Amino acid sequence: MGDIPGAREELDRLGRALRARMVELITDLTPGADLGLLFLDEPTVADWHEPLRHHYSALLRGERPASVGAADITSRAAALLDSAGWQVTTSQDGDGPRRWSVLTGRRGDSSIEIRVGHHMSAVMFSGQTPALALRAPEEFTWPEPRCTPETLTPGYLLCYECDGLGACPECGGRGWVPDQVHGRADCRACRRQRVCVICRGAGQLAASLLSPYQRGYYRRPG
């Protein structure tokens, strides 16, 4: 099991730095927001392609004080980020009174986005660290079969679907299969059950309980 030396420590450091910056912004811009909701406890998977890459991310809604306008919050947020050494870009989402001012701050590969509603008091804070691989990619090892011709229970036959594997023969018991676009896709054969859907993981089937249809699988050709 190959943990990449120092990767978790580096990600934790980035997570702490992100949280500290977000706490500072939220406390200043939307005082009274519940900072306990700013979960940054465990990194989550940002990219399911091998090797998996993890990041810390957080989302929090604050309320603009009644006395402060949306434009003031936006410029104050930009000034705070800028003075902390973050690169800031500003844009608009929508137009008219129902628009949001969107402010994006970047530092390294970490980012913070602040959306300020002009039509409501909501200020949405979101942030994420870069996504890092924490472990070296591992070659998948196919599981040992649950049953072989030598270990069959008397009166039983090897499962015609998995040939005794027991685990789902499509995904090898992982519940997922590699997917080019998303990295992983749910296994359609077992629907994440991980075991063979015919023998339910036993690898063998009682000959006396086979349906006529199932018996067809054991008939030798010719």
> Where on the chain is the footprint of Zn ion (CB under 5 A)?
159, 161-162, 168, 170-171, 187, 189-190, 196, 198-199
Residue 164 Cβ, how far from Zn ion at the closest point, in Å? 7
- Which is nearer to Zn ion, 189 or 210 (by Cβ)? 189
- Which is nearer to Zn ion, 22 or 171 (by Cβ)? 171
Read off the tokens for 41: 């406890």
- Which is nearer to Zn ion, 16 or 191 (by Cβ)? 191
CA-closest candidate to residue 40, choices 17, 61, 15: 15
The DSSP annotation for 115-170 comes to EEESSSSEEEEEEEPPPEE-B---PPPPPPPS--TTTPPTTEEE-TTTTT--B-TT
CA distance 20 to 33: 15
Strands 176-179 and 122-128: unpaired
Residue 90 Cβ, how far from Zn ion at the closest point, in Å? 47
CA distance 60 to 195: 40
- Which is nearer to Zn ion, 131 or 171 (by Cβ)? 171
CA distance 102 to 124: 9
Q: Coil, strand or helix: which one is 99?
A: coil
Residue 196 Cβ, how far from Zn ion at the closest point, in Å? 3
CA distance 205 to 158: 6
Residue 170 Cβ, how far from Zn ion at the closest point, in Å? 4
Residue 216 Cβ, how far from Zn ion at the closest point, in Å? 16
- Which is nearer to Zn ion, 81 or 196 (by Cβ)? 196
Residue 159 Cβ, how far from Zn ion at the closest point, in Å? 3
Read off the tokens for 8: 């978790």
- Which is nearer to Zn ion, 110 or 204 (by Cβ)? 204
